Structure 1
């Protein structure tokens, strides 16, 4: 090993959490360390523990022929426990009677991060405004803000 070499520090995955996020972190860590493609297959076991490590060790030897194959198998085995939100749920979000506007906007933006559909910023702003109390909704519809 070259002097000063630091092995990559992977985020651990135990089978709970967001597997897509784990894959994204793993790929980024590998790329930053100069590893890509099928070389990542050999490194993939390092951040696994618990159920995910057990899944990996129970796979048939030589059953994986590429990084893409391993990634697909992993994502089909582990799924996100994070609930997805639809556009309908977002459009049904309403500001409560005594809820400050900033609290509602922050709550709505957090909800929008879980949305499975991509919204343009102008659509998101309009949808958020539609959920506000009437007095603020009336004012903001006249102003038509361009950003949050």
Structure 2
């Protein structure tokens, strides 16, 4: 059986040369991937999952993390990571990929790092507790209208310390009664802080 497959592959190569079509060797010389990557087999039973397209205008790290998470669930290898990733690129990102030096990518980590470096300007600034200080309650603004956007922003701050979140929320609030209510609760998490705020608002 193996010999038969080799004979078929050889015949396909001959037909491609006869008709002037590029062979697999020609393709590999144009591809940004090394031969080891190009030779990676698709995982058994693998079907390419739906991955959002990346066009270079948003945070490349978000796209990479989404892609990696999905592919790991399907048991993909380094080589197949590399081969599958270009199918998620479009627009400016696809143009960038088409200009990568041939035979230069052997590790997906390098591929991803190159993408992030190229589209670094599209990354959103990382949120911090200090970012929340810009959210302050106006004189006539309902407390609920102030708390809701604070919560949305706080969820985007990595490893937000509960005490820092509490201090920033109380600093931005106008109601002394609200401040006292939240301070007495002594929230131990963002969820606890928001529960206390909602409890006060609903009274």
Q: TM-score range by the shorter chain?
A: 0.7 to 0.9
Aligned residue number for residue 110 of structure 1: 152
1:39-50 to structure 2, matched below 5 A, reads 39-50=80-91
Work out whether 1:28 is the aligned partner of 2:69.
yes
Moved more, 128-137 or 85-94: 85-94
| 2:56 corresponds to 1:15 | yes
RMSD across aligned positions (CA): 2.5
Partner of 2:141: 99
- Structure with a larger share of its residues in helix: 2
CA distance in 2, matches of 1:37, 1:128: 45
**Under a length normalisation based on structure 1, what TM-score does the superposition of the two structures give?**
0.82
- Indicate how the Cα distance of structure 1 residues 86 and 65 shifts in structure 2: closer, same or farther if over 3 A, else same: same
- The question of whether the paired residues in 2 share the 8 Å contact of 1:130 and 1:137 is answered with no
Higher relative contact order, structure no. (Cα contacts within 8 Å, ≥ 6 residues apart): 1
The size of the alignment, in residue pairs, is 146
What TM-score do you get using the length of structure 2 for normalisation? 0.62
1:97 deviates by 1.4
**82, 89, 92: which one pairs with 2:124?**
82
Shift of 1:137: 4.6
2:129·2:165 contact (CA, 8 Å) conserved in 1? no
1:132 maps to 2:177: no
Closer, same or farther: CA 46–144 of 1 in aligned 2, 3 Å: same
Alpha-carbon distance, 1:6 to partner: 3.5
Pick from 119, 122, 125 the counterpart of residue 163 of structure 2. Answer: 122
**In the TM superposition, what are the counterparts of 1:64-75 in structure 2 within 5 Å?**
64-75=105-116
Q: Structure 1, unaligned stretches of length 5 or more? A: none
When residues 144 and 56 of structure 1 are mapped into structure 2, their CA distance, relative to the original with a 3 A threshold, is same
Could you report, residue by residue, the CA deviation over 1:74-117 in whole angstroms, capped at 9, with x for unpaired residues?
A: 110113353444433422421111222222111112223444x6
Alpha carbons 1:12, 1:48 under 8 Å: kept: yes
Q: How many Å separate the matches in 1 of 2:142 and 2:164?
A: 22
CA distance in structure 2 between the aligned counterparts of 1:68 and 1:5, rounded to whole angstroms: 22
In structure 2, what is the Cα distance between the partners aligned to 1:106 and 1:24? 27
